[in-house]
Amino acid sequence: MPETTPDPSTVATALPALSAQAERLIELGVHELAGLSAEEIRTFAARAEAGADARGALLAVHPDRAPASALAPLLRRAGKPGFVVVDMADVDAFTPSALELPGAPLYVVHGIDRGDHMANWSPDEALPTLTKEDRTPLVLTEGIHWVLQQPGALERNLCFMTIGSRLRKPDGSFDARTPAIWISNGTGRDGRERRNAPKVGWCWWNNRHTWLGFASATGRRGG
Q: What would the mean pLDDT of 73-78 be, rounded to a whole number?
A: 96
Q: Is 169 exposed, middle or buried (0-12, 13-18, 19+ CB in 10 A)?
A: exposed
Is the Cβ–Cβ distance between 178 and 98 less than 8 Å?
A: no
Q: What is the pLDDT of residues 98-130, one digit of tens each?
A: 899 999 999 999 999 999 999 999 999 999 999
pLDDT, residue 43, reads 97
Q: What is the pLDDT of residues 168-221, one digit of tens each?
A: 999 999 999 999 999 999 999 999 999 999 999 999 999 999 999 999 999 999
pLDDT, residue 57, reads 96
State the DSSP H helix or E strand holding residue 32, giving kind and residue range, or none if neither.
helix 30-33
Lowest-pLDDT range of 2-6, 135-139, 165-169, 215-219: 2-6
pLDDT, residue 223, reads 73
Asked if pLDDT for residue 78 goes beyond 60, the answer is: yes
Lowest-pLDDT range of 10-14, 57-61, 112-116, 169-173: 10-14
Asked if pLDDT for residue 12 goes beyond 80, the answer is: no
Residue 24: CB atoms within 10 A of its CB come to 17
Any residues with CB less than 8 A from the CB of 122 and at least 6 apart, and which? 1, 205, 206, 207, 208
pLDDT, residue 1, reads 57
Q: What would the mean pLDDT of 66-86 be, rounded to a whole number?
A: 97
Give the three-class secondary structure for 103.
Answer: coil
Is the Cβ–Cβ distance between 180 and 67 less than 8 Å?
A: no
- Chain-centre distance of CA 7, in angstroms? 19
Q: What is the pLDDT of residues 42-51, one digit of tens each?
A: 999 999 999 8
